[in-house]
Every structure is written in C-alpha cells, then in structure tokens.
Chain A
Amino acid sequence: MKQKYMLPLTGVFLLFLLAYAGVEGAGMQWFFGIVVPYAAVAAFIAGFIYRVMGWAASAVPFRIPTTCGQQKSLPWIKQNRIDNPDTAAGVFVRMVLEICAFRSLFRNTKAAFNRNEKNKITYSWEIFLWVGALAFHYAFLVVILRHLRFFLNPVPVCVKALEYLDGIIQIGLPGIFLSGIVLLAATLFLLARRIFDEKVSYISLAADYFPLFLIIGIAATGISMRYFTKVDILGVKTFTMGLATFHPVIPEGVGGLFYAHLFMVSVLLAYIPVSKLMHMAGVFLSPTRNMANNNRMKRHINPWNYAVEIHTYAQYEDHFREKMIEAGLPVDKKE
C-alpha cells in the first residue's frame, strides 16, 4: 500500500531536485525558465482541447439525467426545478450550483453500522470532504488569479482588489495571503484523507497521490519564497513579463527555488490533459447533470439509432391464433 504514495512522493521530490540542481549546479536557467514553460503551456492547451473535443465527438444518445427531486407533473404538485429541471434555465442553475458549490458533494453522508440489539445502519451528514474540496479549489483559483500580477503590466485593478482581500489579515510584513495557506492546508487534508481513510486509501492509485504531492510542492515553494527566502520579486516580474510578451529574458539573482517552483507548475500544466484533473472540463459535459428531465415532453434524437428486429404482432398472432380464438380473444385474421 505504502508504495502507492511513496513512489509519487519520491517522483515529486526528484522533479524538485532536478530543477533546483539544473539551475544551481548546471546553470540551465534557459531550459527550466524558457523551454519547459513554453512546452508545458503548449502541451496544456493542445491536450486540453484534444480531450474536450474527444468527449464532444462522442454521441449523447439518450437523455438520462439523474433526478434528485420531484418531476414536473400535475400543476398542483410542486416540482423541484433545480434538482429535477425540465427547462434549460433549471439545468443552468443546477450546473452552476454543481460547479461553483459542489452541490452533489454537499449531500455526502457517512454510513455506519452498530452490531447491537438495534442493529441500526445510521447515516450522518459528512461535510468535511465538501469543505476540504471547496477550500482547495477556491484557494487554488485565488492563487492563480493573484499570480496574474506577474504576467500583466499594469496590474489590473481587479487583481489588486483580490490581493487586498486575500491579504486582509495583516500580520507583519509581507502581508499573509490566506489563499496560499488555505491551499496548502486543504491539500494536506485531502492527502491525509487518502492515506488514513481506509476506504479512500483502498481505492487510491499512484495517480491520485502524484498531483497532491505536486501541488503541495508548488504551494510550499511559493510560500517559502514569499515569506522565508524572499525571492527577488522584481527579477521574477521581469522574467514573467518576458515570457508573457514572448521576449524571454533570464534575470540575475533569481535562484533555484524559483525555477523549481516554476518547473513543478509546468509539470502540473502538462500533466492535466493526460490525467483525472481533466474533471475540470468533464464536469460540464456530464450527461446525468447537464440535461433536462423533459424526456416525455420533448423528443430526443439518438444520432445512431438503428432499426432492430422485433417480434411483430402478426408473427405473434400466427403463433397463437388458435389458442387466442379458443380463449375468446380478438384476432386480426380468422382462418
């Protein structure tokens, strides 16, 4: 069991070392600073499009939403318009709640069984996965948006505002960004859950641990540069603006830790399209959630519907005619 997470952990550590040593030892700034990031972004964009197109190319033959509430029925029966939508507007709200608030995960319950005179299976509301997942995703989003300040000049007001809100708890200098701390904490929680929850541990693959370790590595190096090693921020900005404007430059005084951070981000970007992390796009395309339950109202077309052989009434009557007549059942052909 242990090897399932030891291997990815070692892998991420090696990636870190590779970039750190490559820059500090071999002076390969141009490789880790220019070649790898461009290649990673290209792989991300191309891979992402390829995967989404691949899904979109598959047919949606039947309308099969999972209904989680009352259908549209008689006028006096109250329909659950969001969990059992019959209109595009209802589907839209359902999807927004699913994508922005992880509504299905919010429902999560935990089953437990007590072997005693009652032998009751109990179901309790289990909110921690939802909280952890929500914290992780939103913190990550804020971190990404905050990083736009490195790629845009002048820095847009909205990014500045976000930074202001993110750093609203001010303890000394530099101000603490909540998002970074929350991201690291949430990732550690998700990792701990994967290791210590026996059921989740049992279903986990190396491919589930790898991105967690990678993100922990990214968050840890980022936090470390900001609060502890104090990276040369002007140098970084010069460098990132170079990348963004396609005039890459390698600044002086930006060390191995930064390149290790950047390298792990690049690996993550390139890894997304070939991994389960594509759920970020897949969730939009899930037919059990993004379709309206108006199956009986509106005809849905299956693009590959084909004719099948059926046992016709005529064949049936031919087979049973005498018995049917004897039993007084009407028949089409009397012989």
Chain B
Amino acid sequence: MADELKPDELLDKVDYTPTSGSWMNTAVQIRPGMYCYAAKPESLETLSAPNARQWNPLDKDWKLPENWQQIIHEGIKDRLEKFRTFKIFMDVCVRCGACADKCHFFLGTGDPKNMPVLRAELLRSVYRNDFTTVGKILSKVPGGDRLAGGRPMTVDVLKEWWYYFFQCSECRRCSVFCPYGIDTAEITIMGRELLNLLGLNIDWIATPVSNCYQTGNHLGIQPHAFKDMLDFFTEDLEEITGVNVAPQFNKKGADILFITPSGDVFADPGTYTCQGYMVLFKYLKDKYNLDVTWSTYASEGGNFGFFTSHETMKRLNAKMYAEAKRLGVKWILGGECGHMWRVINQYMDTMNGPADFLEEPVNPITGTKFENSKSTKMVHITEFTADLIKHNKLEFDKSRNSNRIITFHDSCNPARGMGLLEEPRYCIKAVCDNFFEMPENTIREQTFCCGSGAGLNAGENIELRMAGGLPRANAVKFVHDKFNVNTLATICAIDRAALPALCEYWVPEVEVYGVHELIGNALILPGEKKRTTDLRMEPLPGMEDDDE
C-alpha cells in the first residue's frame, strides 16, 4: 500500500503528551488506516441482527433507526442490571491515571482517547448524564453537565464510541494495574454490544461470525474443503517424515475431540502449527493407541461472537459441547488460541454447560487427572503436551530446532484470563535449547497485545495495527538485538496471523511459530524416515548442504 506509513514516520508520531483542551468537546475524526470497514448487511442477516444495511463510517449519515437514542438508553439500563462489572466500573473509577500508559494502542498512537480510562469515560460520560442522580440534576442546570462530567448521547458521541471501541483489542492489560480491577475489556464488550443493537459492527467481525454460525468456522470453509486442507498437510507431512499422519474426522466414539481455531487450518504460519498437532496425534495413536478426532461441524475454536455480544458468543460456543455429545467422546482438547481460551475458561461452562455427558478429563497415557478442568471437561493442548513431556512419553530430536533462537509471546487472553504461563514455556524448553524471555514488563500478565486482537486483524486498519503492535514488536526487537532471537513462539491463532505482519514491519528478521509447530518438528514419529527439512520444508540445521 502506497499510503502506508513507514516505520520511521510512525515512530515520529509517537508522543504521549495529550493535546490541551477538553476531550469532551473534541469531535471524533474518523481516519482511514485506523478503522475497519462496516459490517455487510448479509452477514448481520445470518444472525437476525438488527439494522442490517449498507453504510460507510466516513459518511455523515449512518442510517440509524429513528429511536436509536432510546435503544442505547434501554440497552445501557438492561446491562447495568445484568452485569455488576459494568455498574461498578461505571461508578468507582477515580481517574487516578494508573492505566493511562498501559494500553498498547495508546503507546503506539499517543491518542489520549486510547488511554483505558478515557476509553471508558466515553461511555461513562453518557452514563453519568442519564443514570446518576447528580448527573440528571446537573444536566438541567446550564453548564452543570461539565461539572459532573456528563454528556448527552449524540451522533458524535456514538461515532466516537464506534471508532474507539473498535480500537480496543480487549486485552485486559490495563485491568492488571487498576486498583479496583476495572477491566476496560469489559467496558469495550458492553460498548460493542450497545453498538450492535444499532447494527454498528465491523465487517472483519460480522462476516467471520456469520461464517462460524453457518459453516462452523470463521473462514466459511465447507466440510469437504476443511478435509481437503488437512489432506494437503497430510501429503506434505508424508513427504517430510515418510509417515502417513492422516487425521480422523467426525468419528463417533473417539477418545478425544480436538478443536482448534480455523486460522490454523487456513493461513500460514498457523498451518504449520496445525501440522504439529497432526504429527503429535499420529504419534499418540501409534504409540499409545489414543484416538483423537477432528470435527468439521465444530471446526472453529476462535469465537468472534465474543467481539459482538454475549449472546452471539454463546450461540457460536454451543457447537463444542453439542458436537462432543453427538460424537460421544470422553473429553475435549483445545488447540492454541487466545480468545477461544478466554471463552472456554471464563464463559463456556456457565453458558452452555453442564457438560455432564463427558468424563472428567484424564490423560489416558500418563493417568494424570486434569483437576483444573473437571467441570468444563476441556483441556488446553499445552497442558496436555506438558504432561506427556513430564512423564517422558514423547521422544524428541531437539537438534531439529537448534537454528531457532526463541522467545515466547504470552497471548493476552490465556495470560490474563486464565493464567496459562508455564505450560507453553515448559513445552518450548523441552524441544529447544535457545530460549530467551523478553523484558519482564512485557511478558506474562504484563504481556502486550499483538495489536490485532478482538477482530481488528483486517487489512484496511493497518496503521492502527502496526501502531498498536509497537510495544510488542519493540520488546521482540530488544531480544532480537541482544540474543539474536529469530523466532517468536506463541499460542494464539490471531497472533500467528497478526505477528508475522508486525514483525515484518518492525523486526523483519524474526519469524512466528506456534508452540506445537516446534513440538511437531522435534517429535520422532515411529517409523519415520531421516528428516531433512522442518515442517516448513526448509532445510533442518546441518542439512543445508545435502542438496549440493
């Protein structure tokens, strides 16, 4: 793109000093490069979502329903009763500013409305005006609304909501630092729910949601095509390993149902992670007779409904349990994905449980009971693999990863909505000797978002993504310069889609890997031939000269 900002130009713009003047009076400027295209009407229609229509965020007229203010007001009222978080977070913020410089979008853009506190104030100002006693009284006094910090709901405010709630990737980093645990992700979730009542979504969310609902995965891959994709990988893997690792689909009576984000099936480098899963399952089948099945119906772990509304999240998530029940598996294994795991860990059992038709997960190979998932009956693949490694059930050739100097990017949701920190590190260290952590303020619960989460991984908002990913890339660059790190491992499909572009922009020498790509690469399959390439079909260390 010719209009794309160069890294130096973007860095020139980084300035954390807000402009003077009151933010309440500054009307929103919707700028290309910073926003995603509007949702297409047909995608909203799939879900019978309201106000499906063609519209353009740059137009003055957003084609809102006539009573839109009433819809928003009722929507807020309803959610204040349904969510204590929302009500408390509207009321208790003291604007201490501890969160102000914690958001990657603020750090990358310097836009003060990307300070978490101010992002929330966009909604809070309307709440104060419409729902608090003081606000209601003062709004009737001339100039009084300014005293209490309230403002009436206008089209400009609505546009500002849309612009900034779709400049938040719901990563929760700010929440870690808030003395009251105010979670701006929660406020963004509510803000997006309210916007959805007026049909104001972005297409990069609405269309994947529609596809997930109809076809089972966010790219709309139909069942036969889904199988085709994995068949391609089977052929590649046979060439690499000499072993046929063909997976099973929709198999009734299998031990375990495996669900991963469809990004892994479709887009590089996620596809290599997908191949890693396939290698692992083949190994477990041959060595321990473990029967794992994939599903074409529940072929999406990532839940874009989470970026739409709680209801849509539930509608998409329901497929996991429904399919596990239909297939009669013992329990469910989940692949490497960020939001998928926040939904599974914090919402699934409540929304779509109880999963009493499944067994409490036990690793049949090691006998380990997964105590932490005995109610949801769903285990994370790094928990599963770490357990296998700990019990010496896997054989690795670590040298195959010896050219990879690795750092690990904690994906936001597993880190801050679950606490999955050690398992992936344990897996990585088992298959590679060169591991270096990024600086401590940028990892674990303080990890930085890739800048493209929560449905913002589109093409048209590339400036926003590169700016939002700056803090992450900056830390990667640090370990690249210091330790020659050339590999950024992660456990999230959006990361695998977003971070390659981010690295290409900021740290071009670093490649992005899924943890199970590294596992699959090192795992010695029974009966395999001498491998000369890795899963990417690039020469393995020490094999570079074999072609000559």
A residues with a Cβ closer than 8 A to B are 1, 4, 7, 51, 54-64, 66-78, 80, 83-84, 86, 98, 102, 104-105, 107-113, 115, 119-121, 123, 129, 133, 193, 197-200, 202-208, 274-279, 282-283, 285-289, 293-302, 304-305, 308-313, 316-317, 319-320, 323-324, 326-330, 332
CA A300 – CA B348 in complex, angstroms? 10
CA A83 – CA B20 in complex, angstroms? 38
Question: A63-B346, A305-B350, A313-B322 are known contacts. Are A202 and B18 too (CB-CB below 8 A)?
Answer: yes
17 A/B residue pairs, CB under 8 Å, sorted by A: A55-B87, A59-B84, A60-B84, A67-B415, A69-B419, A98-B179, A104-B176, A109-B177, A111-B107, A199-B100, A207-B148, A278-B92, A287-B88, A288-B85, A288-B181, A296-B373, A310-B319
The answer to whether A66 and B80 have CB atoms under 8 Å apart is no
CA A105 – CA B174 in complex, angstroms? 11
CA A259 – CA B121 in complex, angstroms? 37
The answer to whether A276 and B91 have CB atoms under 8 Å apart is yes
CB distance from A43 to the nearest CB of B (A): 12
The answer to whether A310 and B315 have CB atoms under 8 Å apart is yes
Closest to B84 in A: A58
CA A49 – CA B181 in complex, angstroms? 22
Q: Which of B119-173 contact A (CB under 8 A)?
A: 121, 132-134, 146-149, 172
Q: What 17 additional pairs, Cβ within 8 angstroms, besides A121-B475, A276-B91?
A: A7-B147, A58-B83, A61-B350, A66-B172, A67-B416, A67-B417, A71-B419, A109-B446, A115-B11, A200-B97, A205-B95, A274-B133, A286-B92, A286-B182, A287-B181, A295-B350, A297-B371
The answer to whether B439 and A123 have CB atoms under 8 Å apart is yes
Q: Is the interface of A mostly helix, strand, loop or mixed?
A: loop
CA A261 – CA B351 in complex, angstroms? 54
Chain A residues near B214: list those with CB within 8 A: 311, 319
Question: A67-B419, A203-B100 are known contacts. Are A286 and B372 too (CB-CB below 8 A)?
Answer: no
The answer to whether A286 and B88 have CB atoms under 8 Å apart is yes
CB distance from A80 to the nearest CB of B (A): 7
The answer to whether A69 and B445 have CB atoms under 8 Å apart is yes
CA A57 – CA B98 in complex, angstroms? 29
CA A332 – CA B250 in complex, angstroms? 10
Minimum-distance CB pairs A-B, first 3: A71-B419, A282-B92, A327-B224
The answer to whether B81 and A69 have CB atoms under 8 Å apart is no
The answer to whether A120 and B478 have CB atoms under 8 Å apart is yes
CB distance from B180 to the nearest CB of A (A): 5
Segment at the interface with A among B35-43, B272-280, B375-383: B375-383
The answer to whether B416 and A326 have CB atoms under 8 Å apart is no
- Of A55, A60, A299, A304, the residue contacting B349 (CB under 8 A) is A299
The answer to whether A206 and B147 have CB atoms under 8 Å apart is yes
The answer to whether B178 and A104 have CB atoms under 8 Å apart is yes
CB distance from B305 to the nearest CB of A (A): 10
Chain B residues near A110: list those with CB within 8 A: 101
CA A295 – CA B375 in complex, angstroms? 8
B175 at the interface (CB under 8 A from A): yes
B residues with a Cβ closer than 8 A to A are 11-12, 14, 16-18, 20-23, 80-88, 91-98, 100-102, 107, 112, 115, 117-118, 121, 132-134, 146-149, 172, 175-183, 186, 213-214, 216, 222-224, 227-228, 249-252, 296-297, 310-311, 314-315, 318-319, 322-323, 326, 344-347, 349-351, 353-354, 368, 370-376, 378, 383, 386-387, 390, 415-423, 426, 439, 441-442, 444-446, 470-471, 474-475, 478
Chain B residues near A55: list those with CB within 8 A: 84, 87-88, 91
The answer to whether B383 and A74 have CB atoms under 8 Å apart is yes
CA A73 – CA B385 in complex, angstroms? 13
Q: Is the interface of B mostly helix, strand, loop or mixed?
A: helix
Chain A residues near B80: list those with CB within 8 A: 58
Closest to A71 in B: B419
- Of A68, A77, A316, the residue contacting B297 (CB under 8 A) is A316
- Of B85, B121, B134, the residue contacting A274 (CB under 8 A) is B134
The answer to whether A71 and B20 have CB atoms under 8 Å apart is no
The answer to whether A104 and B81 have CB atoms under 8 Å apart is no
CA A93 – CA B127 in complex, angstroms? 33
The answer to whether A297 and B84 have CB atoms under 8 Å apart is no
Chain B residues near A60: list those with CB within 8 A: 83-85
The answer to whether B314 and A308 have CB atoms under 8 Å apart is yes
CB distance from B218 to the nearest CB of A (A): 14
CB distance from A54 to the nearest CB of B (A): 7
The answer to whether A105 and B177 have CB atoms under 8 Å apart is yes
- Of A69, A105, A119, A332, the residue contacting B11 (CB under 8 A) is A119
Chain A residues near B422: list those with CB within 8 A: 70, 73, 77-78
- Of B91, B97, B347, B375, the residue contacting A298 (CB under 8 A) is B375
Chain A residues near B417: list those with CB within 8 A: 64, 66-67
The answer to whether A324 and B296 have CB atoms under 8 Å apart is yes
The answer to whether B177 and A108 have CB atoms under 8 Å apart is yes
Question: A61-B83, A305-B350 are known contacts. Are A200 and B100 too (CB-CB below 8 A)?
Answer: yes
Closest to B316 in A: A310
CB distance from B419 to the nearest CB of A (A): 3
Closest to B148 in A: A207
The answer to whether B23 and A202 have CB atoms under 8 Å apart is yes
Chain B residues near A199: list those with CB within 8 A: 16-18, 97, 100-101, 112, 115
The answer to whether B97 and A62 have CB atoms under 8 Å apart is no
Chain A residues near B22: list those with CB within 8 A: 1, 4
Closest to A47 in B: B133
Chain A residues near B91: list those with CB within 8 A: 51, 55, 276, 278, 282
CB distance from B212 to the nearest CB of A (A): 9
CB distance from A257 to the nearest CB of B (A): 28
Chain B residues near A74: list those with CB within 8 A: 368, 370, 383, 386-387, 390, 423
CB distance from B96 to the nearest CB of A (A): 6
Chain B residues near A133: list those with CB within 8 A: 96, 179
Question: A107-B176, A121-B107, A304-B82 are known contacts. Are A66 and B183 too (CB-CB below 8 A)?
Answer: yes
The answer to whether B97 and A129 have CB atoms under 8 Å apart is yes
Chain B residues near A113: list those with CB within 8 A: 14, 16, 107
CA A295 – CA B12 in complex, angstroms? 44
CB distance from B135 to the nearest CB of A (A): 9
- Of A61, A71, A300, the residue contacting B82 (CB under 8 A) is A61
CA A56 – CA B88 in complex, angstroms? 10
The answer to whether B347 and A276 have CB atoms under 8 Å apart is no
The answer to whether A310 and B101 have CB atoms under 8 Å apart is no
